[in-house]
Structure 1
Amino acid sequence: MTNSNSVQALFQPFSTKNMTLSNRIVMAPMTRQFSPEGVPGDDVAAYYRRRAENGVGLIVTEGTIINHPDSSNQENVPHFYGEEALKGWANVAAEVHKAGGRIIPQIWHMGARGHVGDYTEEDIAAIVEAFAQAAADAKRIGFDGIELHGAHGYLIDQFFWEQTNPRTDRYGGDMVERTRFAVEVIEACRRAVGPDFPIVLRFSQWKGSDYSAKLATTPAELEQFLAPLTDAGVDVFHCSTRRFWEPEFEGSDLNLAGWTKKLTGKPTITVGSVGLDSEFMALLTEGKGAGIANIDGLLEKLERGEFDLVAIGRALLADPAWASKIHDGRIDELTPFSPDALRTLY
Structure 2
Amino acid sequence: MAATLVASIFLQPSNILSAGDAYAADATAEIGQPFSLRVNQTAYIGSADVAVRFIDVTEDSRCPSDVVCIWEGQVSILVDLVQVSSDISIGQFTLSLGGQASAGSFGNYSIRVMDVQPYPMSTKKISPSDYVVTLVLDSSGGGQVLSHGVLVKAETSSAPVAAIISGWNVEKGKGAVVLFMQGDNGGPKRVIIRFAPSYASSCSHGPGPVKCIDGQIKLTNSNDPLMGEGGKLHLEVDTSKTRLFLAFANAEETGKEYMLNIIKLKTWLKPIAIDNNTSKISLKEGQRDGPLLVQKIYLDRVEGLNFPEYPIATDQGFPITLRIGEKASNGCTVVLTLVKIEDNTAVFSKTVDEDRPCPICWLQGALLSGSK
Bin for the TM-score computed over the shorter chain: under 0.3
Bigger proportion of residues as strand: 2
Q: TM-score, normalised by structure 1?
A: 0.24
TM-score under structure 2 length normalisation = 0.22
Q: Give the structure with the higher percent helix.
A: 1
Name the structure, 1 or 2, with higher relative contact order (CA <8 Å, separation 6+): 1
Bigger radius of gyration:
2
